[in-house]
Structure 1
């Protein structure tokens, strides 16, 4: 994690999301911007981005099926051992807890099959 600290990345993603909403851009645009702005930062950073997006999405009434599939697949492949050089033990435990919460939330979410729905 060269450019970000663990907490800083989560906080920045939340700030970008809230900024987009405050500009009346809508949730779909806000998520798309996060995906675009925080794409391919690094293996662990990408997991954190997926967790942050997932935490936002599980607050929605309906979630686009593509997001559910992609995030679930990504987070299911997380290996805590791979994060040992980049995160503290405390951060790995927190990330693992958050991953489980997102995966469970996505499993029970109502799916939306319309990619352009707000």
Structure 2
């Protein structure tokens, strides 16, 4: 990972999400904006981003169907071997745990079918 440190991605995503929440447009807007800011950073970085976004989502009462379907599908493609050399062994282990928690959390999430990111 050339531009980011492992923990830094989690931190900046959470900071930005919380900053977007302060705009008082709701959590759907905040998560949509945050997701949009961090797409296509790199192969391994994208797994970390999806994990960080997923960790936020599983704290919500309802999760938009697009996230419930998309994030686990993408995270299911994570191959720890591909991360060797970019992440430490400890970071890979941590990421695998977090990925599993996100996938399980999204399986049990109440689904929201409304695509609007605007506050209701």
So what's the TM-score if we normalise by structure 1? 0.96
- Aligned residue in 1 for 2:63: 63
Q: Distance in 2 between matches of 1:43 and 1:100?
A: 18
Q: Distance in 1 between matches of 2:10 and 2:96?
A: 14
- Aligned residue in 2 for 1:103: 103
Q: Distance in 2 between matches of 1:23 and 1:65?
A: 24
State the Cα distance separating 1:38 from its structure 2 match. 0.5
State the Cα distance separating 1:88 from its structure 2 match. 0.1
Moved over 3 A (4+): none
- The Cα RMSD (Å) is 1.0
So what's the TM-score if we normalise by structure 2? 0.94
| Structure 2 residue ranges without an equivalent (≥5) | none
| Structure 1 residue ranges without an equivalent (≥5) | none
